[in-house]
Amino acid sequence: MELTLWTYEGPPHIGAMRIASSMKEVHYVLHAPQGDTYADLLFTMIERRGKRPPVTYTTFQARDLGGDTAELVKGHIKEAVERFQPTALLVGESCTAELIQDQPGSLAEGMGLGIPVVSLELPAYSKKENWGASETFYQLIRGLLKNQTPENIQKDPEDWKHQKRRPRVNLLGPSLLGFRCRDDVLEVQKLLTEQGIDINAVAPLEASPADLMRLPKADANICLYPEVAESTCLWLERNFGMPFTRNVPIGIGATHDFLSEIHEILGMPTYNPKDERNKSRLNWYSQSVDSNYLTDKRVFIFGDGTHALSAARIAKEELGFEVVGLGTYSREMARQVRGMAKELGLEALITNNYLEVEEAIEATAPELVLGTQMERHSAKRLGIPCAVISTPMHVQDVPARYSPQMGWEGANVIFDSWVHPLMMGLEEHLIGMFRHDFEFVDGHQSHLGHLGGVQSENETSQKQRAINCTQDTSSEEVPIWTAEGEAELSKIPFFVRGKVRIKTEKYARQAGCRKIDSETLYDAKAHFNS
Amino acid sequence: MGGATLLKETGPREVFCGLTSIVWLHRRMPDAFFLVVGSRTCAHLLQSAAGVMIFAEPRFGTAILEERDLAGLADAHEEVKRVVHDLLKRRPEIRTLFLVGSCPSEVIKIDLARVAEHLNQELKDHVRVLNYSGSGIETTFTQGEDGALKALAPLMPESEIDQLLLVGTLSNSVEDRLVSLFNRLGIKNVASFPPRQSEDLPSIGTGTRVLLTQPYLTETARVLKDRGAHILKAPFPMGVEGSELWMKAAAQSFNIPPSLFESVLNPLISRSKKALEKYKEKLGGKKLFLLPESQLEIPLARFLHRECGMEIIEVGTPYLNREMMQPELDLLPDKTLVMEGQHVEKQLDRVRDKKPDLVVCGMGLANPLEAEGISTKWSIELVFSPIHGIDQAADLAELFSRPLHRHNLLNQKLLTHA
């Protein structure tokens, strides 16, 4: 048993719902008790969907358990197929139904429905949402395509040359409740079209079962979100000989790598990054003198595997930040995240527990947090600017405007959405300075620090945390701040105060100081400047 | 009068389970903690329905069952105890701990009553541990509060004193207002259950007269009755009329002179009726369809019809307790269609067929209906908002007129731009 307050991922059947709801002409019969229908609101509220998810819940009750729940399931399946007329049916169970073992999938298969039925087994007590999405996508495609697998799988990704047509690819992985998938699809389509590459199919977003049936017509697959699509891409590679991309085009460097990789896979002329220079403004914005301010900003990154990895690379290589923390809740991608963290001289934080993430943020005292909605809340409490880069997300993370993360425009969006919270902090400081109002400056944090929160509570808890922080950062003997030292520290603008505090303590420990006063502070400053 | 047509329907439902009531219960009693023993689905439901993740550490959580708990590798009862001890170490301020059963814990038959008993022995008087079920196979949405209060009721001390007990979670401001009005009527001993602090339990006994503030407390009322309390029969305190009749039931039971009752309440009633006029204009003649969710559907239909002039198409209710609802049913117009249970697809077919001006429904259905051009009101908002009492009647009406007002506002603008 694991105590959980807030969770990063839902149960695996929510992942299955994401696939079903993303698609057309698919229906999902979910053997589940009353109450599990809450999941509809994720789609209708967070994604603001104007359609109900195509899900029929059997909503069994205690009194049904004494009777024949199998008949109940069959009744719901029959009714759902008649009413919604899907061209493919998913059948599965939620956590409670898994315990009753009615085998709804086998029941459905035995009903002679005349449409493909895919039975989903998603172990609710060991797996989670993204795994469920990935498994459902894979099972659905396998179910639809397994009779088509060629005997000779020597597919040639350069077929397009012989057939005298443009190369074509599938975009696999975008789904509802994924991060900015709607806009990423458009951006990647644009990106590929400019290279003379056509899109054969996009799935699961807006795809019908017929679209899935024609996936093998493409020369290669683009794995946009490995969390959802990698197992499917691997199966298509094994059974249809379709190669797929490993680079996810988030950020300038990754987008170049992605284009280079797809050129190579398809046997196109070697990709020349120079041809694509200045397609995004991120490079120039980051290089412009205004961005000097961004230099070595300490940033803490946590999210799903794909977005955390991408963010770390952008932060370091494209914005000149210092990555002081990196982690993910996607255990499936722990290995890559650990690898990236090691390159950055860090130890990756792989956890489901948002409290551990909050502690890590507090201990590293970053100037910017890039995370999920959980980290936004944690950062708010700690008074640190934050941008959301990954699910889980709130309704405000599904903006009305076009705001992809991928490709050239995605890089623009990322520059704006990461830098703004930092600049707002600076701006507030400048306003305060010109007001010559010391008390105002000191008590007044970035508005990002207490959006929607309770201001007074935030401030007291922040002070409290600051005290804890000095005592917790190291197991070694911790130097103590004198009142005079604290007073000197408080004169330093709040947005660098955390960094100065940590560096001073580090210096004090190195120098063997037990107490930190204003002189220690200046010593530390001189030490790190030299 | 009293000619409501009562029908039943079964099929796929779109209703929250009883766990959802933790979302307001934990705010009512800040010294209590609600620990669901369940699955990741339960945890995900609470976080999705609550939308209150600004709390660093909420006063509710889930002990998530894992494979080893199901396989019997770990004694589930011992595991619950371990989680509780860990939790209490982290949260020493907790005074009352509710162990809340869920669908999976019920199906694998974890005996939370026994676990609670053991924990009470181990923890002595530091923390009181109670248990109830919020599982979807047994309870809907607001029934969770009924379960929690039923579990709390045996701890209420015995006393014969004459008192009025208001039962059901109210917002603090509304509670204060109602108590002060009863005081003005000369009823001095007024207590509330659940209390604002879980340990400040009111007493109970033969001198206790109970007014239910919410229509979903069937089991709690039964337990209180068994302990000698007298349950007053009245409509529920929504709208001017319902609230007046509700207070009148108490006034009569305490032999308050009618002249005093009138002199205290009449000014409030005429003020509120005047405030309602504006909404009567907006809501009058508009067609209303209530989908089942919170059990508040019948009192709301009564209010919106009788005081705001809305035409009732159908009143859905997850379940119907005839005895408790009778005073409400008596006030509904003849042949009002009251549908107990749900077949959500057939019900939505009827919604589309009847083209109501406003549908009261859950969050999962609201946007899809809006996208079809039908205005909606979330039922979950009604369990959070201060809607009880004579003074709140206009606010309650405002909640329903706003979607209609917005609908008109936007459609007119679209027309002018077209």
**Which positions 81-120 of A are in contact with B (Cβ < 8 Å)?**
83, 94-96, 99-100
**Mean pLDDT, residues A187-200 taken together:** 97
* Interchain contact A434–B (C-beta under 8 A): no
| Percent of residues, chain B, with pLDDT higher than 90 | 87
Alpha carbons B382 and B384: distance in angstroms, whole number:
5
Inter-chain touch B57–A51, beta carbons under 8 Å: no
pLDDT tens, residue by residue, B291-304: 999 999 999 999 99
Nearest residue to B129 via CA among B137, B119, B139, B138:
B119
The three state secondary structure string of A173-232 is CCCCCCCCHHHHHHHHHHHHHHCCCEEEEEECCCCCHHHHHCHHHCCEEEECCHHHHHHH
Q: Which of A5, A125, A373 sits opposite B58 (nearest CB)?
A: A5
Catalytic option among A68, A275, A290, A437: A290
At residue A488, does pLDDT exceed 50?
yes
- The pLDDT value recorded for residue A510 is 87
State the pLDDT confidence band at A461, using cuts at 50, 70 and 90.
Answer: very low
- φ, ψ at B332 (rounded to 5°): -75, 150
**Average pLDDT of chain A to the nearest whole number:** 89
- The pLDDT value recorded for residue B51 is 65
- The pLDDT value recorded for residue B9 is 95
In contact, A401 and A183? CB cutoff 8 Å: no
Residue of B nearest to A83 (CA): B345
Rg (CA), chain B: 22
CB atoms within 10 A of CB B417: 6
Q: Which residues contact B144 (CB under 8 A, 6 or more apart)?
A: B17, B18, B19, B20, B21, B22, B25, B100, B132, B134
Structure tokens at B385: 């908002």
Inter-chain touch B87–A3, beta carbons under 8 Å: yes
* Interchain contact A487–B (C-beta under 8 A): no
pLDDT tens, residue by residue, B226-257: 999 999 999 999 999 999 999 999 999 999 99
Chain pair A-B, CB pairs under 8 angstroms? 193
What type of residue is A321? F
Is pTM beyond 0.80 here? yes
Distance in Å, alpha carbon of B272 to nearest chain A alpha carbon: 33
State the pLDDT confidence band at A449, using cuts at 50, 70 and 90.
Answer: very low
Residues in chain A closer than 8 A to B17 (CB atoms): 33-36, 38
Inter-chain touch A6–B80, beta carbons under 8 Å: no
Q: Which residues contact B102 (CB under 8 A, 6 or more apart)?
A: B19, B36, B37, B38, B39, B42, B133, B134, B135, B136
**Which positions 73-92 of B are in contact with A (Cβ < 8 Å)?**
74, 76, 79-80, 82-83, 86-87
At residue A430, does pLDDT exceed 80?
no
Nearest residue to B7 via CA among B343, B330, B309, B353:
B343
- The pLDDT value recorded for residue A470 is 42
**Mean pLDDT, residues B116-140 taken together:** 94
At residue A295, does pLDDT exceed 60?
yes
Torsion from C-alpha of A37, A8, A449, A314, nearest 10 degrees = -130
Inter-chain touch B136–A374, beta carbons under 8 Å: no
- The pLDDT value recorded for residue A497 is 82
In contact, A373 and A304? CB cutoff 8 Å: no
pLDDT tens, residue by residue, A60-96: 988 888 788 889 999 999 999 999 999 999 999 999 9
Residues in chain B closer than 8 A to A10 (CB atoms): 40-41, 44
pLDDT tens, residue by residue, B67-85: 999 887 779 999 999 999 9
State the pLDDT confidence band at B349, using cuts at 50, 70 and 90.
Answer: very high
At residue A453, does pLDDT exceed 80?
no
- The pLDDT value recorded for residue A525 is 82
**Mean pLDDT, residues A406-428 taken together:** 89
Residues in chain A closer than 8 A to B80 (CB atoms): 1
Inter-chain touch B44–A65, beta carbons under 8 Å: no
Residue of B367, B378, B380 to mutate, interface with A, max A Cβ within 10 Å: B367
* Interchain contact B48–A (C-beta under 8 A): yes
Q: What is the DSSP letter of B133?
A: E
* Interchain contact A40–B (C-beta under 8 A): yes
Nearest residue to A373 via CA among A388, A352, A361:
A388
**Which positions 52-81 of A are in contact with B (Cβ < 8 Å)?**
52, 56-62, 65, 76, 79
Alpha carbons B356 and B372: distance in angstroms, whole number:
12
CA angle A335, A336, A341 (to 5 degrees): 100
Peptide linkage before B333 cis (omega within 30 of 0): no
Distance in Å, alpha carbon of A245 to nearest chain B alpha carbon: 33
Residues in chain B closer than 8 A to A14 (CB atoms): 44
Distance in Å, alpha carbon of B209 to nearest chain A alpha carbon: 34
User: Which domains are seen in chain B, by residue range?
Assistant: 5-9+275-417 (3.40.50.1980), 18-139 (3.40.50.1980), 163-260 (3.40.50.1980)
Residues in chain A closer than 8 A to B82 (CB atoms): 1
How far is C-alpha B83 from the geometric centre of its chain's CA atoms? 29
Distance in Å, alpha carbon of B155 to nearest chain A alpha carbon: 27
| Angle between helix B297-306 and helix B393-417 axes, rounded to 10 deg | 80
**Catalytic residue check, A290:** yes
State the pLDDT confidence band at B321, using cuts at 50, 70 and 90.
Answer: very high
Q: Which of B39, B56, B83 sits opposite A11 (nearest CB)?
A: B39
Nearest residue to B43 via CA among A124, A48, A16:
A124
Inter-chain touch B368–A58, beta carbons under 8 Å: no
Residues in chain B closer than 8 A to A56 (CB atoms): 12
Nearest residue to A261 via CA among A218, A217, A220:
A220
Higher pLDDT, A281 or B124: A281
- The pLDDT value recorded for residue A33 is 95
Distance in Å, alpha carbon of A2 to nearest chain B alpha carbon: 5
- φ, ψ at B16 (rounded to 5°): -65, 160
* Interchain contact A339–B (C-beta under 8 A): no
Residues in chain B closer than 8 A to A377 (CB atoms): 53-54, 56
State the pLDDT confidence band at B56, using cuts at 50, 70 and 90.
Answer: low
Its ipTM equals 0.94
pLDDT tens, residue by residue, B270-281: 999 999 999 999
